Structure 1
């Protein structure tokens, strides 16, 4: 996945490319979105329209894992909106969701130590 080199230097968590449908729930709306990438600290979403959400809003990302029965549910804040893309900053995630996400990161990176490093950094983050 190609990323902005400036973001690579600041990024402390490994991101994995992901293509899946999810629901983004805000106080005002429930928006069908596509998840473009995930990390233990957030997600990048493709929005149905640029006006679908506003930066700074609190939200809940609900990502069903198909064909499995699991799901990833993340409480987040919309960190930025650029055109039809929005970045989420994870504020909270339950143990079942973090377990699914960690396993996905391990499988996609092919290195369990990178996922372990991310998890330790998440726990150490204030």
Structure 2
């Protein structure tokens, strides 16, 4: 499936929150450009020297006490952006992400469609 097809299945929402990528002992603070139920897009950090064969953890800090944590895989890399697909998300993080996406989608039917797509994916 192409990235274009995936974008149609999972609407991305623009969202600004402190975000960090982790891989082992390495940490990169990144600028979050957008996210969906299935992944996120960030600005490529300056000192980007990751092991592309390994997965990452993405941490999105919604406030001081609330964060979304996902195990992610780099799906596409551009000179200025990195796109990740979610491999695993715990129930609490999924609840926060679900609520965030729901608040940003005008149509509750669209949210239900995306949840069905996520389950079937």
TM category, shorter: 0.7 to 0.9
**TM-score normalized by structure 1?**
0.83
Aligned residues of 1:33 and 1:48 also touching (Cα < 8 A): yes
Which residue number corresponds to residue 107 of structure 1? 103
Aligned residues of 1:40 and 1:102 also touching (Cα < 8 A): yes
Q: State the alpha-carbon separation in 2 of the partners of residues 78 and 101 from structure 1.
A: 19
Give the superposition deviation at 1:98.
Answer: 1.0
Structure 1 residue runs without a partner (length 5+): 1-5
CA RMSD between the two structures: 2.0
Q: Output aligned runs, 1:1-126, within 5 Å.
A: 8-11=4-7, 12-27=9-24, 29-49=26-46, 51-53=48-50, 55-66=52-63, 69-125=65-121
Q: CA offsets, 1:46-85, max 9 Å, x none?
A: 1221734354531000111026x21100001011110121
Structure 2 residue runs without a partner (length 5+): none
**TM-score normalized by structure 2?**
0.86
Q: State the alpha-carbon separation in 2 of the partners of residues 70 and 10 from structure 1.
A: 27
Aligned residues of 1:14 and 1:114 also touching (Cα < 8 A): no
Aligned residues of 2:75 and 2:84 also touching (Cα < 8 A): yes
Aligned residues of 2:18 and 2:62 also touching (Cα < 8 A): no
Q: State the alpha-carbon separation in 2 of the partners of residues 87 and 54 from structure 1.
A: 15
Q: State the alpha-carbon separation in 1 of the partners of residues 17 and 25 from structure 2.
A: 23
Give the superposition deviation at 1:16.
Answer: 0.5
Alignment size in residue pairs:
119
